[in-house]
Amino acid sequence: MKIIRRQYLARVSPWVLATAFSLLAIIITVFAMNNYRRDKALITDILLEKGITLIRFVASSARSSIFSGLRGGKDLNDLWPGNVQYVLEHVSEHPGVKIVALVNSKGDILADSLPEAGEKHVSKQTQEFFAALDEDTTDTRTFNFRISKEQKQAVFQVAAFFPPIGNRFLKQLRQVPPALIARGENGHMMTQHHLASPQWRQKIEALNKEKYVILVELDMKQYNKRLQRQKLEIIILSIVLLLVGFGVWLSILTLQGLKGSQSRLRRVEAFRDILISSLPVGLIATDINGGIILYNRFSQELTGISEKTALGGDPTVFNNIPDIHAAFKTPGTPQKELYQKEIQLSSDSGISHTVQLSRLAIIDSDDTFVGTLLMMQDLSQVKKLEKDLRRSERLAALGKMAAGVAHELRNPLSSIKGLALVLQSKFSGENHDKKTAEILVQEVERLNRSISELLDYARPQKLQKVDVDLHKILNKGVSLLCIDAEAAGVRMVTDFPEVLPMIQADEDRLNQVFLNLFLNGIQAMEFGGTLIVRTAKTDESIKVIVSDTGSGIDPDNLSRVFDPYFTTKPEGTGLGMAMSAKIVEEHDGVISIESEIKKGTSVTVEIPL
């Protein structure tokens, strides 16, 4: 069963969006951190390069000043460390330079760019920083750097060893050209004198062997501002990502809620479809244009028109069923007047059904006509129940009347029988009068038996229910009639495929039912045949099927088989099947009969467990 076109929504999992956002967040975070590290490394390189340049400038300027002073005849004590102090004071004028100092191996500041500063000794942490320098190196080309946070504001420190007189300068001083001495200038003579003095050389070598360090501290305010901007950008980016993530989370919740709603809607639609398909009522609905949008399975069974043919079409598909076609009238016209009609329909199996058509207008919440619904209710079972009810009422009335008549007849019959016996006793020998009296007695007895059967049928019987083995009753009936069956050329066959449970029943009454069915089957096969007795168990009942291969029952007589006094046998009373049906009904069971002319008859007795 189908109902209008289904609308499909997005089926993409919300976790795809979450995964995509996570990947984007990771990429952006990595990119931002790389930028921050790159900027930090660049700032470090700039500060280091500036510190190295200042150290080299100080070293070069100090050595040149000392060398020039020594050649000019000045004493080393006058030159060291005064010349370095002079250079450092000039270096401090460079922007971003906080302090430049000359420090000995003990951590004492010998000269610095801020001579007015009171502190003349470096901290323990700075000495440890100096210790990281390569002690085997006495060249300013080996540097060490760090960011110091000992003060309120962080500074960038660069340090390198500083030999006051390099080897190159020392060699130049030792190799003064003789031409300078020949001129006889006092200064040149003095230089030569210094060069020749062992004390001077010892001072130079001792000064050169001492471990001095040039320390440069650079202000990091400008660079910290740039790093702060980078951090601020990362924080802003993180907040944006957090907000986007929150939005993604809300989107995921929304999508999950939407998918949950869709899933619940699909389950409701599936349940509705199953419910409509399972209804024992035919439903045909058309839209405002007359197109068929609803056509359930029961409609297909009643009309014989397939769902594929009907759905999407218009009421013209029911042209072969004029009553249904007329129920829809003109497409688009509101069918608001009440429409009900009983019709006869034949299903695909050829069974005729009494169907009641009921037409309803489909009105929406705005009181607008949007379509027509036609309901088809199968009244066949109702009609059958009504027929059975009328039959039961008729039989009950007949039974009451027959019981009254039988009671009234029994007294005269007793008198007639007594008079017949008196007449019979007065005749001797085998004369005609005596035979007439005997016939009279026999007919009275036969009439009395019929009256007794009628009274048994009309009078309620109390069942003596006990645990009964149905197979035992059936085998007993077969064994009682097997001689009669052989005489009639009938073969009796039992088919008991499984062991049946015990049932609560009146054994004598059931035995009467099955003996009657066996006799009817044998008598229906005038030229011999086969009588098959089968049993079957269901969840709620046990079925006994008695089938013969006789002449069958005329279809016109099939509905009258269980009526009292209906018989097609010349010597039958017509109460056998009626009594059997009554006994089965008293056991809350059902008896049914199927027959085909010249093929045989099958009677099914179903007794509940």
Task: Tell me the pLDDT tens digit for each residue of 486-528.
Answer: 888 999 999 987 788 889 898 888 998 999 899 989 988 888 8
Are 379 and 340 within 8 A, CB to CB?
no
Q: How high is the pLDDT of residue 606? A: 92
179-192: average pLDDT: 42
- Cβ-based neighbour number of residue 452 at 10 Å: 12
CA–CA distance, 143 with 319 (Å, rounded to integer): 106
Q: Is residue 271 a part of any domain in this protein?
A: no
Rounding to the nearest 10 degrees, give the CA dihedral for residues 57, 59, 63, 65.
Answer: 50
CATH code for position 315: 3.30.450.20
Q: Is residue 249 a part of any domain in this protein?
A: no
193-199: average pLDDT: 55
- The answer to whether residues 95 and 219 belong to one domain is yes
Q: How high is the pLDDT of residue 172? A: 58
Task: Tell me the pLDDT tens digit for each residue of 529-579.
Answer: 999 999 998 888 899 999 999 888 888 888 788 877 777 776 666 778 888
Q: How high is the pLDDT of residue 186? A: 44
298-312: average pLDDT: 83
Q: Is residue 252 a part of any domain in this protein?
A: no
* 570-578 own/partner pairs: CB under 8 Å, 24+ apart: 573/450, 573/453, 575/453, 575/454, 575/457, 576/516, 576/519, 576/520, 577/516, 577/520, 578/395, 578/457
- The answer to whether residues 473 and 587 belong to one domain is yes
Q: Is residue 265 a part of any domain in this protein?
A: no
Q: Counting every residue, how long is the chain?
A: 609
Instruction: Burial-class residue 407 by CB neighbours within 10 Å (0-12, 13-18, 19+).
Output: exposed
- The answer to whether residues 373 and 478 belong to one domain is no
Task: Tell me the pLDDT tens digit for each residue of 60-90.
Answer: 888 888 777 777 777 777 678 778 888 888 8
Give φ, ψ of 162 to 5 degrees: -130, 100
| Domains in the chain, number | 4
* Mean per-residue pLDDT of the chain: 78
- Cβ-based neighbour number of residue 214 at 10 Å: 27
Q: Is residue 270 a part of any domain in this protein?
A: no
Look at residue 297 and tell me whether its pLDDT is greater than 90.
no
- The answer to whether residues 68 and 202 belong to one domain is yes
304-325: average pLDDT: 82
Domain range spanning residue 445? Answer: 384-458
Q: Is residue 489 a part of any domain in this protein?
A: yes
Are 378 and 355 within 8 A, CB to CB?
yes
Of residues 70 and 175, more confidence is placed in: 70
Look at residue 182 and tell me whether its pLDDT is greater than 50.
no
Task: Tell me the pLDDT tens digit for each residue of 344-396.
Answer: 887 666 677 888 888 888 888 888 888 888 888 888 888 888 877 777 777 67
Task: Tell me the pLDDT tens digit for each residue of 406-440.
Answer: 777 777 877 777 877 877 777 776 677 777 777 88
Token pair for residue 396? 């009950």
CA–CA distance, 207 with 547 (Å, rounded to integer): 137
Q: How high is the pLDDT of residue 335? A: 60
Q: How high is the pLDDT of residue 508? A: 87
Domain termination site, one of 415, 430, 458: 458
Task: Tell me the pLDDT tens digit for each residue of 205-245.
Answer: 777 777 888 888 888 887 777 778 877 877 887 788 778 77
Are 104 and 212 within 8 A, CB to CB?
yes
Percent of the chain with pLDDT over 70: 82
Q: How high is the pLDDT of residue 153? A: 76
Q: How high is the pLDDT of residue 187? A: 42
- The answer to whether residues 389 and 371 belong to one domain is no
CATH code for position 426: 1.10.287
- The answer to whether residues 410 and 486 belong to one domain is no
pLDDT band of residue 135 (cuts 50, 70, 90) is: low
Domain termination site, one of 323, 350, 378: 378
257-278: average pLDDT: 80
- The answer to whether residues 476 and 452 belong to one domain is no
- The answer to whether residues 37 and 180 belong to one domain is yes
147-161: average pLDDT: 82
Q: Is residue 11 a part of any domain in this protein?
A: no
Q: How high is the pLDDT of residue 7? A: 41
- The answer to whether residues 68 and 204 belong to one domain is yes
Domain termination site, one of 331, 361, 378: 378
- The answer to whether residues 218 and 129 belong to one domain is yes
Q: How high is the pLDDT of residue 139? A: 53
Look at residue 288 and tell me whether its pLDDT is greater than 50.
yes
Q: Is residue 166 a part of any domain in this protein?
A: yes
CATH code for position 517: 3.30.565.10
Nearest CA to 18 out of 305, 196, 256 is that of 256
- The answer to whether residues 295 and 316 belong to one domain is yes
Q: How high is the pLDDT of residue 330? A: 57
- Cβ-based neighbour number of residue 565 at 10 Å: 14
- The answer to whether residues 449 and 472 belong to one domain is no
